[in-house]
Structure 1
Amino acid sequence: MDTIYALSTAQGKAGVAVIRVSGTRAFTAVKALAGDVPQPRKASLRVLKDRDGVRLDEALVLTFAEDHSFTGEETVEFQVHGSTAVVAAVLEALSDIDGLRPADPGEFTRRAMENGRLDLAQVEGLADLIEAETEAQRRQALRVLSGDLGRRAEGWRKNLIRAAALLEATIDFADEDVPVDVSPEVTELVESVVASLRKEISGVSTAERIRSGFEVAIVGAPNVGKSTLLNALAGRDAAITSEYAGTTRDVIEVRMDLSGLPVTLLDTAGLRETEDAVESIGIDRARQRAQMADLRVFLVEGDTAPDLTPEADDIVLRAKADLLGESTGAISGKTGAGIAQLVDRLTDTLKSRASGVGIATRLRHKQAMERGLMSLEAALVLLPQGEDQADIAAEELRTAIRALDSLVGRIDIENVLDEIFASFCLGK
């Protein structure tokens, strides 16, 4: 297998840049540039030179022996000064060494998985951690990266293998007297996995929202103050405001961090009947996005009812509190009245929803668990029917095991690997 190298820190000027080399010729590479191979896991100051002896930089060098590195291969990290010229010179020097080539996106992480350092779920957790923007996203990604999902899947697998083995014994000794009825233990093992799977499946949608962000739509009639409210919540002029109805014609999105939760605020077109073709398209989009949003904030004037029927947890507020001379149940993006109370309500509602999150975070996880659950539910129907259906029940258990194995990459993952690793940068 080739030895690969890449810049592992961000492109551009920085105080320090890290260049990583991994593979069987990594120690050859460090010896070529630094003159020797420093003691593993000990930072060593070295002068780096190219093959002509030209000084490139003075750097800290870290070496990691096979099975003691991120990739599981011999690995070297050069911590050089972070100028673009220094980085380019060191990468050029590495390219001159036989057997080395630039890494592909995510190739270091892919090698870590192939060498058993990470399972597939942990790889996904690492990708999420790199993309994390809020505290909730960071915590969720770290749970997956730490192997929580893999350990949970291993527990399910252990119970199902035990249950399958008991059933296989029943089949193998069908013509003999089996001293113990295994069906109660098998049923108990399968039911425990079923209950755990149902709980995890129910939390995936919330976990996906933490990854991608909750959507909160601001909905109301034209010129009711939606864009002004959006600007007040965002702390900047994200949307154009005017006294003319129909100013907003498309959905405007603003990303926010509410107490660690990622939230996308949606400023929608004012809901009304119109003959303007362009505005009509905007209104249709507004209705669709509002209906798909996780939460809606309705702004109404007077005793007017919202154009859409509010759902549980939706917030209905009287608009333009600055003109009403009251604050209870009213809000004003212009003066800020009621803004803090709205933020508190949004935060409390979304935190309550986020509390139901599990350790499975992706649609792929949900689909694998649902396939496993379907087979286990079929097995539970077959088990009470005795020895005649034992072989079919055992096959259902094996099918469930295979489905859950795909969670951590034991089987059936080639079709998702390229997509996952394409999201990584070159140095990861």
Structure 2
Amino acid sequence: MEETIFALATARGKAGLAVIRISGPNAVPVLSALGGKVPAPRSSRLCVLRDGTRGVLDHALVLYFAEGASFTDEDVVELHLHGSIAIVQAVIAAILDTGLARMAGPGEFTRRALMNERLDLTQVQGLSDMIDAETEVQRRHALRVFGGEMSEQVAEWRVKLIRAAALLEATIDFAEEDTPEDVEPEVRALLENVIGDLRRASKGFGAARTLRDGFEVALIGAPNAGKSSLLNRLTGSDAAIVSKVAGTTRDIIEVRMNIDGMLILILDTAGLRHTEDEVESIGVTRARARAKDADLRIFLHEEEVPEPPFDLLTEEDLIVRTKVDVRGGSGISNVTGEGIEELVEKIGAVAERRVDAASLFSRERDRASLENAVLSLEETRLMDLPVEVQVASIRNAVMHLADIIGAFDVEFVLDDIFRSFCIGK
């Protein structure tokens, strides 16, 4: 935290603009060493940047954010350069030559924002999800978390629990005196309210994770049922090999697509059949396992009367007849496109119903904290327990909730979060 760090904050490669961000106590001295003059806080200035030999590096727009008013809460200087690969490399080399700053690691700017209490842990997670967002629904969900909605919810629960603990502690402190009222009804109401909220948040964890990671749709069926052709038709690609030879697809092929702002992962799986081919048999086993774990299964068949694998299917899964351009009847045709739009709408409707139940909590560690908090609060329902034990259980629940926002030791989760960050973020 005492060192000054810098990194390219925009994508590498040729572009119209490149931004190098410098953060730390030497941010301004680095700019001075490059021949630039610091602008007024939260304003910009055009500067000619020079290397150690006074050679011109670039004509850059320089922005300055003073300590206490920047993303990291430190002095921050941004160099807005022309987006030439050569210019960026030359400026980076010149900054290193000053000896005043070092290259930042992945997520290190955000780590400093967290350590300097500009963000809490939930906002860091929301920022990570914003960076990874591919669809509109993902963007909106991540923005809610980054905007502090998750933190506010946790804070509301903590206030209620602290109130309940305080009321119980009052009965201990004034055990030998007359208290103005029975605190038990209010304590019970507070605890039941929080327990209900925690359970709903935990129940929506799976949907939230699906929203973040993608809604998986497994295409299953016998060989040559049209799974690979449907994958290619849906995604407008040639991701899967289409052949009349049974057993062509032996491994799972995954293609991403956007349906109504949601990330949908289409899985093409090996044809379900008994086979003596050892490699194909492994593919069939993998196909069944992956299909079972998917969010939705679409069983494709050519026959007029299908024989679905009911051990894999649920009530919400779809059974669809293919090749209706040749065989007639209702269903889909990967050749003419008949029924494809309707099928996409059905997939989108199922995915939308699932993600509508999504909570703000989508990380496994958050789910564990929620469930541990519920377990602690459940102990307070045992009315024969001493009041001191009930208070301790409530305080344990408060600590579990504090873990979500990073109020306690969070070092064990930081590396996992920041691993997905860009170097300059």
Q: Which band: TM-score by shorter chain?
A: over 0.9
Contact 1:229–1:334 (8 Å) recurs in 2: no
Contact 2:30–2:100 (8 Å) recurs in 1: no
Structure 1 stretches lacking a partner, 5+ long? none
Work out the CA distance in 1 between the residues paired with 2:96 and 2:271: 59
Number of the residue aligned with 1:418: 415
Which residue identity lines up with residue 186 of structure 1 in the other structure?
Answer: V
Which residue identity lines up with residue 157 of structure 1 in the other structure?
Answer: R
In the TM superposition, 1:269-348 aligns within 5 A as: 269-300=270-301, 301-309=303-311, 310-326=313-329, 328=330, 330-348=331-349
Contact 1:5–1:100 (8 Å) recurs in 2: yes
Work out the CA distance in 2 between the residues paired with 1:274 and 1:98: 65
Number of the residue aligned with 1:171: 172
Work out the CA distance in 1 between the residues paired with 2:416 and 2:243: 44
Partner-residue secondary structure (3-state), 1:43 = strand
Q: Does 1:248 align with 2:241?
A: no
Work out the CA distance in 2 between the residues paired with 1:24 and 1:412: 26
In the TM superposition, 1:23-422 aligns within 5 A as: 23-300=24-301, 301-309=303-311, 310-326=313-329, 328=330, 330-379=331-380, 381-382=381-382, 384-385=383-384, 389-422=386-419
Partner-residue secondary structure (3-state), 2:388 = helix
Which piece of structure 1 moves more, 313-322 or 61-70? 313-322
What whole-Å deviation, never above 9, does each CA across 1:40-84 have from its counterpart, x for those lacking one?
111211111123322110011000011110000010000001111
Alignment root-mean-square deviation, CA: 1.3
**Shift of residue 353 of structure 1?**
1.1
Work out the CA distance in 2 between the residues paired with 1:242 and 1:308: 27
What whole-Å deviation, never above 9, does each CA across 1:196-230 have from its counterpart, x for those lacking one?
11111111111101111111011111111111111
Which piece of structure 1 moves more, 187-196 or 397-406? 187-196
- After superposing on structure 2, the runs of 4+ consecutive aligned residues of structure 1 that deviate more than 4 Å are none
What whole-Å deviation, never above 9, does each CA across 1:98-138 have from its counterpart, x for those lacking one?
43111111110000000111001111111111111111111
Work out the CA distance in 2 between the residues paired with 1:243 and 1:423: 41
Which piece of structure 1 moves more, 265-274 or 304-313? 304-313
Partner-residue secondary structure (3-state), 2:405 = coil
Which residue identity lines up with residue 51 of structure 1 in the other structure?
Answer: G
Partner-residue secondary structure (3-state), 2:424 = coil
Work out the CA distance in 1 between the residues paired with 2:310 and 2:279: 21
Work out the CA distance in 2 between the residues paired with 1:346 and 1:320: 19
What is the TM-score of this pair, normalised by structure 1? 0.96
Work out the CA distance in 1 between the residues paired with 2:41 and 2:35: 14
Which residue identity lines up with residue 37 of structure 2 in the other structure?
Answer: D
Work out the CA distance in 1 between the residues paired with 2:357 and 2:308: 29
* Percent pairwise identity: 51
